[in-house]
Chain A
């Protein structure tokens, strides 16, 4: 086998203690599956379970999206102003507000600082951590159910809506 671009690893000649520790480890199973998960080699759950999990994930992301959007609007800031003020990437902010995918922990950390809320709880809302907090689950549901947009449509929005409805009737 040819040697690759990397220099050979520097491995000490005497690793006796390390070997002793390694062979005494309880290593019946040591498999790591990040790549297998990405390549779809992992999921053998019945389809109904996969759908249920996806639905829960979508609900959590919608709740997070609504929370971030309302908080920003409460600050009276546009997305761009908010992003600039709190040093958040505007595309990542828009992705959260549109519930487009699961935000990375780094982004959630920035959001927790910007909004003055718990980083851990944002991790739970985004699905990075499993919630054992029944109160958070209950309040998230209540928030999602009571925070839907109630604003009246502007004239332009109403016209656009009616125009689109006409198209859908055709």
Chain B
């Protein structure tokens, strides 16, 4: 596994804290993260219930349980001969977010022509990085999502895909991908339960990576 030092911002104080970018993780890391995130998710559910927060405002990934889907996940497992790669970011000894991406079988929708891209299968952040104003819960760290996306863009670039990346965002994250990341919004995709499909084009990817 290779790692790269980075920083995250502690939302409460504005301080930058040391963090680590990881590439080539495996499913054990995903389950490890889930094991640590689960108690926090239960606590968050309790807070949401106690504050009578409408179900529509709950974090849309709160009920995800990858361990329950362990058998279904096998075809998506990163490893030798796999088209999948799992990236992560950790700080203070805990996983802060993970991103699973695939490099085979996905082509750009921007202009039909068969150009490949890296497809992001999922992004999930640690529950303590959700902000829920209704319960007074604030994000612990900021900068997780953008840096995970950066790794997917870098992988796409190294594969010769010029940074092209596609993904299906959860509705609560649409503004992040359409806004901060500057991805093209292709609207709801009926093949993915009407999640909106976003795609980063080459020029935006170039801008993204040149900011170093």
Q: Tell me the A residues contacting B by CB distance below 8 Å.
A: 1-12, 14-15, 17-19, 21-39, 41-44, 53, 57, 102, 105-106, 109-110, 126-130
Q: Which 7 A-B pairs have the closest CB atoms?
A: A30-B145, A8-B2, A22-B146, A23-B143, A23-B9, A127-B190, A34-B168
Instruction: Tell whether, in the assembled complex, residue A29 and residue B59 are in contact, meaning their CB atoms are under 8 Å apart.
Output: yes
Contact between chains at A102 and B173 (CB < 8 Å): no
Decide if B50 is an interface residue (CB 8 Å cutoff). Answer: no
Q: How far is the CA of A12 from the CA of B212 in the complex (A)?
A: 7
29 contacts between A and B (CB under 8 A): A1-B29, A3-B24, A4-B26, A4-B78, A7-B158, A9-B4, A9-B155, A9-B158, A11-B4, A18-B212, A19-B16, A23-B16, A24-B9, A27-B145, A30-B123, A31-B122, A31-B172, A34-B120, A34-B121, A34-B122, A35-B121, A37-B192, A39-B72, A41-B65, A42-B195, A53-B194, A57-B190, A106-B109, A128-B189
* Chain B: minimal CB distance from A37 (Å): 4
**Shortest distance from the beta carbon of B79 to any chain A beta carbon, whole Å:** 6
A33 x B168 contact (CB < 8 A): yes
Quick check: A37 and B193 within 8 Å, CB to CB?
A: yes
Which of A1, A17, A26, A30 has a CB less than 8 Å from the CB of B144? A30
Give the CA-CA distance A55 to B149 in the complex, in Å. 36
Q: A10 to chain B: which residues have CB within 8 Å?
A: 154, 158
Judge if B175 is at the interface, Cβ distance under 8 Å: yes
Q: How many residues of B contact A (CB 8 A)?
A: 84
Give chain A's interface secondary structure class.
Answer: loop
Check if A4 sits within 8 Å of B79, measured CB to CB.
Answer: yes
Distance in angstroms between the alpha carbons of A16 and B79 in the assembled complex: 31
Identify which of residues 12-66 in chain B touch chain A, using a CB-to-CB cut-off of 8 Å.
16, 21, 23-26, 28-29, 59-61, 63-65
Inter-chain contact B142/A25, CB cutoff 8 Å: yes
Chain B residue numbers with a CB within 8 Å of A38 are 192
A14 neighbours in B (Cβ, 8 Å): 212
Asked whether B136 is an interface residue with its Cβ less than 8 Å from the other chain, the reply is: no
Indicate if B119 sits at the interface (CB-CB under 8 A): yes
Contact A42 B212 (CB under 8 A): no
Query: Are B154 and A11 interface neighbours, CB within 8 A?
Result: yes
Alpha-carbon distance between A25 and B24 when the two chains are bound, in angstroms: 25
Q: Is the CB of B150 within 8 A of A29?
A: no
A28 to B187 alpha-carbon distance, docked (Å): 21
Residues of A within 8 A of B61 (CB): 31, 33, 36
Closest to B25 in A: A1
Contact, CB under 8 Å: A22 / B100: no
Q: Is the CB of B167 within 8 A of A32?
A: yes
State whether the Cβ of B160 lies closer than 8 Å to any Cβ in chain A. Answer: no
Apart from A12-B212, A19-B147, A33-B168, what 7 extra A-B contacts exist at CB < 8 Å?
A9-B158, A10-B154, A15-B6, A18-B208, A27-B144, A32-B169, A37-B192
Which residues of B have CB within 8 Å of A23? 7-9, 16, 142-143, 146
* Least CB distance, A116 to chain B, in whole angstroms: 17
Question: Is the pair A109, B112 in contact by a Cβ cutoff of 8 Å?
Answer: yes
Q: Which residues of B contact A21 (CB under 8 A)?
A: 146, 211
| Contact with A9, one of B2, B100, B167, B195 (Cβ below 8 angstroms) | B2
Do B169 and A27 have beta carbons less than 8 Å apart?
no
Whose C-beta in chain B lies nearest to the C-beta of A44? B63
Tell me if B117 is interfacial: C-beta within 8 Å of chain A.
no
Contact between chains at B187 and A130 (CB < 8 Å) = yes
Chain A residues with CB under 8 A of B162: none
* Minimal Cβ-Cβ distance residue in B for A43: B193
- What CA separation (Å) do A15 and B151 show in the bound complex? 12
Instruction: Let me know if A106 and B2 touch, CB within 8 A.
Output: no
